[in-house]
Structure 1
Amino acid sequence: MNEQLHNFFLSQEEPNKACLLALRSIILKQDQHITETQKYGMPCFCYKKKMFCYLWTDKKTSQPYILFVEGKHLDHPELESGDRARMKILRVDPNKDLPLRTIESILKMALDLYHTGILKIKE
């Protein structure tokens, strides 16, 4: 983890810090081709150098969420698009156990967009 990302996580207050670090770990372990960087001040996860998802916190509720860049291709009842045309988010309550099955299921759906060729990756 680079210093900027490290500082991002360290600057979060609990319980968000632990929640965001746990989400980071869950995302990174899904596929060996997932890497992390920082874009727009947020932790960004890429699949084979293509932006895949972000971690962020809601400005109003301060609750963490995972933002899926190609969310418009994902159909899951827990995902919200709000006023976004392309992206969808999965809200996470940092005061409860993480819904691991839901998170992993949506991450798999998102990765399958690349694995199946629905979304092309330039290599």
Structure 2
Amino acid sequence: MLNPPDHYFEQKDEPIKGCIQYLRSLLMGYDDITEHWKYGMPFYYHKGKMFCYLWVHKKLHQPYIGLVDGHQIEHEDLLQEKRARMKILLINHLEDIPKKKIELILNLAFEIRK
């Protein structure tokens, strides 16, 4: 029996499935990041506090990383849309995943936590 996060990732179709599984492994590679199931989605905590989540944009059908304190981060690729606190980083699952850009933005998010 799969746990809820595993079930979430398994139910997705390729190429979105491969993309979000890669993003999951990237996030889990950081120290002090733990995966939880919250609000019906995979959520990632940093040192016990909500940090980010993975989801697929309903209108654009693209995976994204939602950053909990994204409103404090200035980066041209982060979208706020109608969110008050969070910003998202859309990932084009049909192209190479921009690992360096993702790591840069995650490092900015870690910095505001200090």
**TM-score for the superposition, normalised by structure 1:** 0.88
Are 1:49 and 2:43 an aligned pair? no
Q: Deviations over 1:21-72 (max 9, x none)?
A: 0001111113x11100111111100001100000000111221000000001
Partner of residue 25, structure 2: 25
Equivalences for residues 41-120 of structure 1 within 5 A: 41-114=40-113, 116=114
Look up the SS of the partner of 2:58 in the other structure: coil
* CA–CA distance in structure 1, aligned partners of residues 111 and 29 of structure 2: 15
Report the alpha carbon displacement of residue 75 of structure 1 after superposing the two structures with TM.
0.6
* CA–CA distance in structure 2, aligned partners of residues 13 and 63 of structure 1: 12
* CA–CA distance in structure 1, aligned partners of residues 20 and 68 of structure 2: 18
**Runs of at least 4 residues off by over 4 Å:** none
Are 1:3 and 2:3 an aligned pair? yes
Gaps of 5+ in 2: none
Gaps of 5+ in 1: 117-123
In structure 1, what residue type is equivalent to 2:8?
Answer: F
In structure 2, what residue type is equivalent to 1:13?
Answer: D
Equivalent residue pairs, number: 113
Give me the CA root mean square deviation. Answer: 1.0
* CA–CA distance in structure 1, aligned partners of residues 107 and 29 of structure 2: 11
Look up the SS of the partner of 1:8 in the other structure: helix
